[in-house]
A = this chain, B = another copy of it.
Amino acid sequence: MDNTGIYVIDVSRSSYAIVEPLPIDRVIVDDSFWRPRLEKLVKITLPLQFLKIQETGRLENFRMASGRVKGEFKGLWFNDSDVYKWIEASAYALAYRWSEELYKMVDTAIDEIISAQQPDGYINTYITVNGLKRWVDLAWSHELYCAGHLIQAAIAVRRSLKKNDLYVASLKFADLISDTFGWEEGKLKTSDGHPEIEMALVELYRECNRGKYLDLAEFFIDIRGRGYVTKTLTLRQFFLPSPEYLVDRKPIRELDDIAGGHAVRALYYMAGVADVYIEKGDSKLWSALESLWRKVTSRKIYITYGFGSRYEGEAFGEDYELPNERAYSETCASVAGAMWAWRMFLASGDPKYVEVLESILYNSALAGISLDGTRYFYVNPLADYYGKHQRMPWFECACCPPNIARLLAYLPSMIYSFSKIDKGIMVNLFIGSRAIFEVNGNRIAITMDTMYPWYGKVFIRMEPERVDEIPVMIRIPSWVEEHEILVNGKEFRGEPGRYIKLVKSWDRGDKIVIEFKMRPRFIQSHPYVEANYGRVAIKRGPIVYCIEGIDNREFDVRDLIIDPSTANLNEVFREDVLNGVVLVEGEGYVNEDMYHGDKLYYELDVESVPKAKKVKFIAIPYYAWNNRGATQMAVWIRSRINVLGRIGD
């Protein structure tokens, strides 16, 4: 691919990247699902976040660090990172949707940050304003975490806004970090309690091609899991992060489980490891990543593709530990999971990673932000039986709002990519859009039209400058049972869970018409998941559904029992509901007399058969819940399924 442009992840020179993403400015999203979301991102979400950043003293902290004003540090010690993440999101969003207002806000923030840089390059307002010693409490201080976000923001601003000032500042800071940390005699041999610097340093290396940043990233990957991080903990608090929490239990190449690991930390770390792999190609790193991927996605992920099942430590649980009402599934963990998935895909070209990325996007991540783009979930439970869970305009620990903004901002860069192996154009996500590929000196415009995720019909129109034979690879999701692929009317057949490779001499106006048949499906979970035994969930295409109280006033959502064989599921697109969604309707039952006097525990009476009445229910996409006020919600519904079956011979 000869495309130049604004890369979010620039693997164009990376030896072990199988896939190259398309530059973000080469894609225009233009559909009814995502376009309004990206418009809101630039017009509403990011400007509102800037106001919150100002109101809460986050910029003021930089002014204090630079000496422009006097005062006391405000808020949490890692609040700098929110400003950086917001800048990064804004910079990439501005690449494809200009807003003078937003640009000025970014400029203001950058000015404050640069002024707060210390003569030797160090930037951290908490340490500077409070006159604290640097790097002494790294397990908890987030100094390198904040530095990582600063570097990512600086790269985004340089790439997208063509402004170099923050980038120059971040290089100076990176040099200071490089002089301070490393295996060499006299340098600090530890890392930050919160991974993040790793991804940032690899991307910085990609931007400036200085190998020392890549080596430093590798050092931060390798130092972890040997207890160095945990050792820097100072006994300041009752809650003492464990090696598990800090992802410091075992070195990456031996890491077999991440139970107890803070989900965002663990996922950022693994995304960083993937980045190092993409540059250095150490196959042991790759097998560690693959085996952790398997562990996470087959044992520790929610059906909504949320990560982290414990409030305590915001952590991954044991295998199959996936409570619904108390799911943590932090929005940041979904963003981190998407980053990891995307890097795994770049490293391998395997569509399974895109499928997870897509599932995160349409479910747990999108749930993190309200339909109007102004409020956020920090925690994303799969059930809310008391209607207590509400999105908030901001948080004291406000990691999630700018993080979900980052993920949305990245979106256009993930729809298409280029396979270095097949030398082909890859269609990863089905999002109405126009894209420009430059391959072998040829310019190929692609237009995709679709009502996905509501309908599986996708129209792709090819417009090459000149006729050229180039593979076009289209991902077929693994849930697809029936599909149809027509190229100029000629039928092709692919395999679910794989890319279908369409090789032909493409001419202007060539049409690819795809249909993935969608129907609402009942999903069961592995019986080891304590909370889901005897329950079913509903999924349609990539979208997980839930039952909200507001649509189902006849019963408590906990009382609904679905008999899958008599549920008569029906789907209906409603443009007027929740900005346009496919609703799933069905029939279930509610018991009328089984609670034995409302007792918590009671003796089972095998003779007693509870009386049940039929009810109709309506399910909505999970991501859209809590957009119509406080109400009950549940993803996993009690069901009448045959859990035992026939007795063996």
List A residues at the B interface (Cβ < 8 Å).
76, 236-239, 297-299, 301, 303, 310-312, 317-321, 323-326, 383, 385-386, 388, 521-531, 533-537, 558-559, 561, 563-565, 589, 591-592, 594-595, 598-604, 606, 609-614, 638, 640-648
Contact = CB atoms under 8 A, between A and B. Distances in A.
A329 to B, nearest CB: 15
B533 A535 contact: yes
Contacts of A646: 609-612
A385 B559 CA distance: 28
A528 to B, nearest CB: 5
A379 to B, nearest CB: 11
Contacts of A606: 564-565, 641
A385 B237 contact: no
A319 to B, nearest CB: 8
Contacts of A594: 527, 645
Contacts of A526: 595, 598-601
Given A310-B326, A521-B603, A564-B606, A298 B527 contact: no
Contacts of A561: 643-644
A614 B648 contact: yes
Contacts of A386: 318-319
A560 B320 CA distance: 16
Contacts of A600: 297-299, 301, 320, 525-526, 529
Given A323-B530, A526-B598, A589-B647, 19 more contacts: A239-B239, A298-B599, A310-B311, A310-B326, A318-B385, A319-B386, A525-B601, A527-B591, A527-B595, A528-B558, A561-B643, A563-B644, A591-B645, A606-B641, A609-B646, A611-B645, A611-B648, A612-B646, A614-B647
Contacts of A523: 601-604
A640 B638 contact: no
A644 B559 CA distance: 11
A602 B524 contact: yes
B326 A323 contact: yes
15 contacts: A298-B598, A312-B312, A320-B385, A522-B604, A525-B601, A527-B558, A527-B638, A531-B531, A533-B534, A589-B647, A594-B645, A611-B646, A612-B644, A612-B647, A613-B647
A524 B646 CA distance: 23
Nearest to A240: B396
A530 B601 contact: no
A611 B648 CA distance: 5
Given A614-B647, A645-B611, A648-B612, A604 B524 contact: yes
Nearest to A535: B533
A326 to B, nearest CB: 7
A462 B460 CA distance: 94
Q: How many copies does the complex hold?
A: 2
A321 B325 contact: yes
The 10 closest A-B pairs by CB, nearest first: A534-B534, A640-B644, A311-B312, A609-B645, A613-B648, A522-B604, A610-B645, A237-B237, A524-B604, A312-B312
A363 to B, nearest CB: 12
Contacts of A599: 298, 526
A386 B311 CA distance: 20
A454 to B, nearest CB: 20
Nearest to A610: B645
Contacts of A643: 534, 561, 638, 640
Nearest to A314: B312
Contact of A530 (B383, B524, B603, B644): B383
A601 B644 CA distance: 18
A585 to B, nearest CB: 18
A298 B595 CA distance: 12
Contacts of A611: 645-646, 648
A516 to B, nearest CB: 15
Contacts of A537: 601
A603 B311 contact: no
A383 B320 CA distance: 13
Contacts of A303: 601
Nearest to A609: B645
A213 to B, nearest CB: 30
Contacts of A641: 604, 606
Contacts of A321: 325-326
Nearest to A299: B600
A165 to B, nearest CB: 33
B648 A592 contact: yes
Nearest to A526: B600
Contacts of A613: 647-648
A305 B643 CA distance: 29
Contacts of A565: 606
Nearest to A382: B530
Nearest to A328: B312
A272 to B, nearest CB: 23
A528 B606 CA distance: 19
A643 B521 CA distance: 22
A323 B609 CA distance: 26
A597 to B, nearest CB: 10
Contact of A531 (B323, B602, B614, B644): B323
A522 B603 contact: yes
